[in-house]
Amino acid sequence: MMLDKLNTDKPTVEPELTALLPYADSTILLNETFYPQLTARLKQLGFKLVALNDSPQTPEQLFTLILQLGELTQNQAKAEKLVERLRLQKIPLKQPLAETLILSETGMIEPHFPQYQTLLDLLGLSPLKSDLTPQNFSLEKLLLAQPKQLLFLTDNQSYNNQAELLKHPALQKIWQKMSQNPPLVLPMKYTYCFDHGVWQGIQLMHKLTP
């Protein structure tokens, strides 16, 4: 999402050696983690590569990467404008009783990845403090953990026993008694990567949440 906002006039090529050969004189942005064999082969052939890995861990590191990409793609003005707009997004104070459990169709999500940390920060929420994990997740442990907020990330495509359990009418009634906060729902696409899509997702939630 982030690169699409910056790379408006440079080709987007399939990550295959045959597709990249015509660009031997160009600078290629490539995620080395996703394509280790392709990266090694391109380096052997003398291609100029810039590693575009999932390394930013904080908003400031992400903004630095955006500016770097803007410079590499000769879109400095767009990059600076994007960073300026993201910086204007105010981070609210942590809400009282804001311990949040993040769930998806594939079950519980651990919030230690940077996109989830920033997502919670921008909502004024905090991660749930409990021994609940994707491995030991159960209805009993969920009720004992007593989260004050639920955040659902959905793509409406996956099926999982944990996700189906969360739709059980009995749990819905118990949840209504446990908390006055209605569950928050966000399309999962906004959290696939740690990029400006997280901010876009927050803006969408603010529009949909009364």
Residue 173 lies in a domain: yes
Average confidence score pLDDT of the chain: 84
Angle between helices 76-87 and 59-72 (to 10 degrees): 160
Clarify whether residues 77 and 132 are in a common domain.
no
The distance of Cα 170 from the centroid of its chain, to the nearest Å, equals 31
Residue 92 lies in a domain: no
How many domains is the chain built from? 2
- Whether 120 has a pLDDT exceeding 80, the answer reads yes
Clarify whether residues 127 and 69 are in a common domain.
no
Clarify whether residues 131 and 42 are in a common domain.
no
Residue of 179, 37, 186 whose CA lies nearest to 102: 186
CB 108 within 8 A of CB 102: yes
Clarify whether residues 185 and 126 are in a common domain.
yes
* Backbone φ and ψ of 25, nearest 5°: -95, 5
Q: How confident is the model at residue 105 (pLDDT cuts 50, 70, 90)?
A: confident
- Whether 1 has a pLDDT exceeding 90, the answer reads no
Mean pLDDT of 163-188: 71
Clarify whether residues 82 and 117 are in a common domain.
no
Clarify whether residues 67 and 109 are in a common domain.
no
Indicate the pTM of the whole model.
0.74
Residue 160 Rama label (left phi>0; alpha psi -120 to 50; beta): beta
Predicted local distance difference test score (pLDDT) of residue 73 = 87
Clarify whether residues 113 and 203 are in a common domain.
yes
Q: How many CA within 13 A on the CB side of residue 12?
A: 8
Range of the structural domain that residue 113 is part of = 99-208
In percent, how much of the chain has pLDDT > 90? 28
- Which of 53, 87, 121 is the last residue before a domain boundary? 87
